[in-house]
Structure 1
Amino acid sequence: MTHSHTAPPAVAEQTRREEELVERVLRSFDDCADPRLKELMQALVRYLHGFLRDVRLTEEEWQKGIEFLTQVGHITDDKRQEFILLSDTLGASMQTIAINNEAHGAATEATVFGPFFVDGAPRIELGGDVAGGAAGEPCWVEGTVRDTDGRPVPGARLEVWEADEEGYYDVQYDDDRTAGRAHLFSGPDGEYRFWAVTPTPYPIPHDGPVGRMLDAVGRSPLRAAHLHFMVTAEGCRTLVTHIFVRGDELLETDTVFGVKESLVKAFERQPAGTPTPDDRAVDGTWSKVRFDIVLAPAGN
C-alpha cells in the first residue's frame, strides 16, 4: 500500500493563491528605475509576506499591529524618536551597525546612536567639564585617539553625551537646559581628557507604545550604564559608540543589545579626598576611566 504526499486540493489551492499574490506584488516593482530601491522593495515584500504566511497572521493581529505603529508615529516629535526606540529594542539598530561597521584591525567597536544626541553641544577645552551642571558623581575620563596603524590622530572631534544620576538626558527636562553633553578636540598627540559624571543605569522612555511592548513580552526597559561618544576625524570612519561600566548587573540584559565586551571599562571609584589628575577640588568620591579610541580608515 502506498501513501501519497500530495497536498490536499484545498491546501494546494490556498498555497497557490498566496504565492500568486506575492509574485504580483513583486512584479509591481519591475519598472522601478532605481536598482537598489527595487532590490530593497522586493526583498521587503518577500520577507514581509513570508512572515505573514509563516505565522498565519489573523486580521485582528494585523489591526493591532497597525494601531501600534500609528501610536509610535503619534508620540514621535523633534525631541523623541519612538521609531529609533522600536528599532533599538528589536535589535535592528545594532544589526545595521554591525553590517556597516565591519571589523578592521584593532578599530574600536561601534554601538547604537540612541535617540538623545543633539547637534550644537557646547565646546569644552581639554580637561573641561561635559557635565555642565548635570547631577552625579564626578568622573575623570581620559585616553587617546589613534588610527589602526597606531598613529595619534590630533584634532579629532569627540562629541560626548550622557544622562544624569537620575537617568535623564537634558532634553527630557522641560527647562531647555544643556547639560551632560559637549564636544572637544584631541590634542597634538591624540590625547583627550574631560570631566563628566559617573554613568548610572536608566530606562529608555517607556511611557509609550515601545514601553508597552516591552512590558507585554516581559522585558525590562533598563539600559546598562554608559557614556556616549561620537568621534570624527579626516580620513577616518566616523565612530559612534559607548563605554560601559564593568560590574554593572545590566550588562547582559541591556534592552537595546548595545553592550560589547570590548567597550566595558573599569570605572575606578576614588575615596573622598583623593587628589584629582588636574587638582580639581571634589567634594566626596569621584571615579576615573581610561578609553583609548582606535579609528578605522574612511571607506572601511
Structure 2
Amino acid sequence: MTTSSDQQHREAALTDTVLRSFESCTDPRLKLVLQSLVQHLHDFIRDVRLTEDEWRTAIDFLTEAGHITDDKRQEFILLSDVLGASMQTIAVNNEAFKDATESTVWGPFFVDGSPEIPLGGDMTLGAAGEPCWVEGSITDTDGNPVPDALVEVWEADENGRYDVQYRDGRTAARAHLRTGDDGGYRFWAVTPTPYPIPHDGPVGALLAAVGRSPMRAAHLHFLVRAAGYRELVTHIFVEGDELLADDAVFGVKASLVKQFERARGATPDGRELDGRSWSRVRFDIVLAPHGS
C-alpha cells in the first residue's frame, strides 16, 4: 500500500516524539530497550498497516492471556515459546563455548522446591510411564568432573501431562539430585513421550488459526547449576521421534537428540521390574565457565 509523503512524515514524527519522551531516563539500559522497542513496534505497525480492529484483537488476545495465567500456567511463556522469542533469547544469552552443552527453553512447567532424591533414585514418584534409566557425567570444557552440581529434572508422564496440570496437588516426575565426586549422576525417570502444549487458551487459538500443531517432541528437562559455571537449562530428545522437525516451540537441537535404548531383564541397579520393558539413555553434560 502506497502512502503519501505527508502521511509518512506524520507517522515518522509521532515515532520521533515517543522516542524523545524517554530521553530523560537515567538508566541507560532501560532507555535503550524502550527506545528500541518503540522503534520496532512503530515500524511493524507501519509496515503491515495495522488496522484498528486488528489492534483491538491484539489487546483482547493479551488480556485473555493474562486472565488464563495463574501460579500453575504461564500463557505468556507459551506465547513467547511458539513465536520463537524464547529460543532467540536463549541463543543471544548462551553463546557457543567450546563443546559446552547447548541450552534450550525452560518451558512453563518448572517448579521450585522439587523433592531431593539420591543418586540412582526415582524421580517419577508414581508418574505413569515406562521406566527409563538416565545416567551421565557432568564435566567442564577441559573434561574435569564437576562434583556436587545441582541437577533438576522434570517431565510429563505417559499421558502427556505434568504434575501441575492435575488438580489433586500431586508432585511427580520432577526431582533434584547432586552429582557424585566423579561428576556422575543417575536416576530413574519415565521414557519421554510427545505431548501438546496447553492449547485451550489464546495461544492454542493462535496456533489453530495459522495451521500449526501444538505438539512438542518427546523430551526430558534438565536444569544444572554449579559454582563457577554458567547455568544450563536444556532438554534431551528421543532419537527417531517424528516431531523432532516440527516441535511447537522450536526447542530441538541436533546435539540434544539422544538414543533411548529399549531393554528387558536386568537393570543397571538391580531394580525388579516384573518383566516390564524399560529404556536407558546416557547424557553427558559439559558446562561452560561463568561469564563465558
TM-score by length of 2: 0.98
Unaligned runs of 5+ residues in structure 1 are 1-7
Identify the residue that residue 131 of structure 1 maps to in structure 2.
124
1:282 aligns with 2:270: no
Looking at structure 2, the residues matched to 70 and 251 of structure 1 have their Cα atoms a distance apart, in angstroms, of 32
Aligned-pair identity (%): 70
SS of 1:83 mapped into structure 2: helix
What are the equivalent positions in structure 2 for 1:90-239 lying under 5 Å apart?
Answer: 90-239=83-232
Identify the residue that residue 233 of structure 2 maps to in structure 1.
240
SS of 2:198 mapped into structure 1: coil
Which of 275, 289, 292 is 1:297 aligned to? Answer: 289
Looking at structure 2, the residues matched to 282 and 90 of structure 1 have their Cα atoms a distance apart, in angstroms, of 42
SS of 2:153 mapped into structure 1: strand
Which of 68, 84, 92 is 2:61 aligned to? Answer: 68
Tell me which amino acid in the other structure corresponds to 1:186: T
Identify the residue that residue 256 of structure 2 maps to in structure 1.
263
Identify the residue that residue 32 of structure 2 maps to in structure 1.
39
Instruction: List structure 1 runs of 4+ shifted beyond 2 angstroms.
Output: none
Looking at structure 2, the residues matched to 163 and 106 of structure 1 have their Cα atoms a distance apart, in angstroms, of 29
Looking at structure 2, the residues matched to 177 and 231 of structure 1 have their Cα atoms a distance apart, in angstroms, of 24
Looking at structure 1, the residues matched to 215 and 49 of structure 2 have their Cα atoms a distance apart, in angstroms, of 32
Deviation at 1:282, TM superposition (A): 1.1
Largest Rg, 1 or 2: 1
Looking at structure 2, the residues matched to 106 and 199 of structure 1 have their Cα atoms a distance apart, in angstroms, of 25
SS of 1:258 mapped into structure 2: coil
Tell me which amino acid in the other structure corresponds to 2:72: K
Which of 79, 83, 91 is 1:86 aligned to? Answer: 79
Looking at structure 1, the residues matched to 166 and 159 of structure 2 have their Cα atoms a distance apart, in angstroms, of 11
Identify the residue that residue 4 of structure 1 maps to in structure 2.
none
SS of 1:19 mapped into structure 2: helix
- Cα deviations by residue, 1:68-113 (Å, 9 ceiling, x for unpaired): 0110111011111000000000000000000000000110000000
Deviation at 1:232, TM superposition (A): 0.4
Looking at structure 1, the residues matched to 218 and 290 of structure 2 have their Cα atoms a distance apart, in angstroms, of 29
Unaligned runs of 5+ residues in structure 2 are none
- Cα deviations by residue, 1:233-291 (Å, 9 ceiling, x for unpaired): 010001000000000000000000000000000000113xx210001011310000000
Looking at structure 1, the residues matched to 19 and 236 of structure 2 have their Cα atoms a distance apart, in angstroms, of 43
Q: Paired residues, what number?
A: 290
SS of 1:119 mapped into structure 2: coil
Tell me which amino acid in the other structure corresponds to 2:125: G
